Copies of this chain bind each other. A is one copy, B any other.
Amino acid sequence: MSYTTKQWMLKEPTGDNIDVTKAFNLITKQVSARDLKEGEVLAKTVYISHDPAQRCWIHRNNVEGRLYRTPIGAGEPMEAFGVAEVLETRNKSYKTGDLIVATVHWTEYGIITPDNIYFKSFGDAADMVTLGLTGMTAYFGLLNVGAATPKDSTIVVSAAASSTGAIVCQIAKNVLGIKNVIGIAGSDAKCAMLTRDAGCDIALNYKSPTFRQEFEAATPNDIDLYFDNVGGEVTDMALLRMKDRGRVVVCGAISIYDRIHEKGGNVGISRASWLQVICHQVKIEGFIIFQFADQFPRALGDLATWTQEGKLKLMKDIIQTDITEVPKGMSTLFKGENNGKLITQLKV
């Protein structure tokens, strides 16, 4: 069967400080089951996840050949993590009607290659988007890269009200039982949510004029683990407060994705805090979730169990809209206007 679909294509790789809603062209095209190759499925997009990393995929200033995936080129389809419903299949593992967790295009109907299909959705498919990528990011970042810390330790999480951050805080408090979980976010409302719902003992608004003093007051015994989603000034501040052998998990750097080359392009780590890396034997480690691909099933199982046990509340911010509004979701994410995991539920 053949489907008429609207789909967003990247105009061209972008620079810094752009309005992302203007970076894409909406086209109309046909997709047909006749085009399916072995292993592929033709699917209707159900959920489209909006994630900070997507900003890097479309940025022309990536160091050539050194992004963790092939960047999206001029005229190429925009991609996202998401859930799709299989309509036609040449993949023996997935049948018509299955909901699959996959890398999808910003499209109503599309063909998905086997390497972009991760697993069959179970339970609530919107939870799958939340647990599947950002939940697993929190899981591997905190447990594998950060390594379990004693309960009597201090963990600081930046962009703590983000989808990944909120799960990091909850695993730290509700699963590991960590004593001091400190979340940093960009509004008082987010901070209130962090202490009320996300297991934070203290939540700090980084836009407060007294943030630096509040940060120091909140970490009198220094930091065992800093889970970094933002980069920049907050990271610098954390480096000045690390314990001996403290660990910095570099999960993301949303504060710099849209200004890689602005103002000399410095990440904002001071000499004084770099010296702390030596003096306090700090370990800083970056990661991407796909390095743990062989452990996805275990992680997803744990996360689903903890959700059922009430240890994780999944905060979802679902936009129900048609394909024309999808780029606005990306813009909303970068303005920090979402509350919880931002997902477009596609009306097709």
Contacts and interface: CB of A to CB of B under 8 A. Distances in A.
Contact of A274 (B267, B281, B288): B267
Contacts of A327: none
Interface residues of A, number: 45
Nearest to A245: B291
Work out how many copies of this chain go into the complex. 2
Contacts of A256: 271, 274-275
Given A278-B286, A285-B283, A265 B272 contact: yes
Given A260-B275, A275-B256, A276-B66, A270 B281 contact: no
A276 B63 contact: yes
Given A61-B272, A265-B272, A268-B266, A279 B68 contact: yes
B281 A285 contact: yes
Given A260-B271, A270-B266, A280 B231 contact: no
A315 interface: no
A1 interface: no
Given A63-B240, A240-B66, A259 B271 contact: yes
A267 to B, nearest CB: 4
B250 A261 contact: no
Contacts of A266: 266, 268-271
A153 to B, nearest CB: 18
Interface of A: 56, 61-63, 66-68, 231, 240, 244-245, 250-253, 256, 259-261, 264-288, 291
28 contacts: A56-B275, A56-B279, A63-B240, A63-B272, A68-B278, A68-B280, A231-B271, A244-B291, A245-B291, A250-B274, A250-B277, A251-B278, A253-B271, A253-B275, A253-B278, A256-B275, A260-B271, A264-B270, A265-B272, A266-B270, A267-B269, A267-B271, A269-B269, A269-B274, A279-B288, A282-B285, A283-B286, A284-B285
